[in-house]
């Protein structure tokens, strides 16, 4: 429900993980395999000489500086800008407003209901349920309209469809109180917490 670029994040994390794995493997080989260490010294020396030669061949006329340093600075600034833009995209979509003046229907006046009202109400209603290991509620903006995301961690043996139906009933009650029908995504997950948590009522 967020505009966070999940696929891009996963690709970047995968690339970073592969690079770190390759670096770690190379360090292990350099420390344990003499042939790899010999190859590395020869290869790195050739690369270093090539870099020095490139900078020597690109000097400004009559000056010792190379214009490649300008390219390096521009590329670094570009990478910094891309990183800032990437960080700015993380977590977008969250909102703190559930109902605004335009959503109030026939109610006169300027009406504002924060998303925290719905979040706390649903959390309180779900907190005492013995069939849940955890529950989180968050308000998001989807296509310009507020929506709720309810994430549930049921214990083992709990029927997901029955749990979803009961949560839908709570949401309907919330809609009746708020005075507007809010789109809701019910996400039922599973994990170590649901497998190892003690339950008062299971199966």
CATH architecture classification, 97-196 = 2-Layer Sandwich (3.30)
State the CB neighbour count (10 A cutoff) for residue 116: 14
CATH 3.30.70.1350 range(s) for the chain read 97-196
Q: Can you give the pLDDT of all 203 residues of the chain as single tens digits?
A: 555 566 777 888 899 999 999 999 999 999 999 998 899 988 988 899 988 888 888 888 888 888 888 999 999 999 999 888 877 766 666 667 776 655 445 555 666 777 777 778 888 888 777 888 888 888 877 777 778 888 888 887 788 888 888 888 888 888 887 777 878 888 887 655 445 444 333 32
| Positive or negative torsion for Cα 33, 37, 38, 39 | positive
| SS3 at position 95 | coil
Determine if the pTM surpasses 0.75.
Answer: no
Quickly tell me which residue has 């335009």 as its tokens.
102
Bridge-based pairing state of the strands 145-154 and 184-188: parallel
Task: Tell me if 93 sits within 8 A of 141, measured CB to CB.
Answer: yes
Helix (H) or strand (E) holding 117, with range, is helix 115-127
Task: Tell me if 136 sits within 8 A of 118, measured CB to CB.
Answer: no
Cα separation of 177 and 106, whole Å?
Answer: 15
As given in the structure block, the two tokens for residue 28 are 């292990």
What is 34-62 written as a DSSP string?
HHHHHHHHHHHHHHHHHHHHHHHHTBPTT
Tell me, what's the pLDDT at 24? Answer: 94
Cα separation of 108 and 111, whole Å?
Answer: 8
């Amino acid at each position: 429900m967020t505009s966070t670029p999940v696929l891009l994040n996963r690709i970047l994390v995968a690339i970073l993980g592969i690079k770190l794995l390759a670096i770690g493997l190379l360090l292990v080989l350099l420390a344990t395999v003499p042939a790899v260490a010999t190859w590395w010294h020869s290869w790195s020396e050739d690369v270093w000489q090539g870099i020095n030669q490139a900078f020597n061949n690109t000097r400004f006329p009559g000056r010792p500086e190379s214009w490649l340093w300008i390219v390096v600075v521009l590329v670094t600034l570009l990478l910094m800008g891309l990183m800032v833009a990437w960080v700015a995209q993380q977590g977008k979509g969250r909102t703190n407003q559930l109902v605004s003046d335009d959503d109030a229907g026939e109610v006169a006046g300027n009406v504002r209901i924060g998303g925290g009202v719905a979040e706390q109400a649903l959390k309180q209603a779900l907190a005492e349920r013995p069939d849940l290991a955890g529950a989180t509620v968050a308000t998001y903006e989807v296509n310009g309209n507020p929506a709720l995301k309810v994430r549930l961690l049921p214990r083992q043996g709990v029927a997901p469809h029955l749990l979803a139906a009961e949560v839908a009933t709570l949401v309907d009650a919330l809609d009746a109180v708020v005075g507007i029908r809010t789109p809701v995504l019910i996400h039922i997950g599973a994990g170590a917490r649901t497998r190892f948590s003690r339950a008062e009522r299971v199966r």
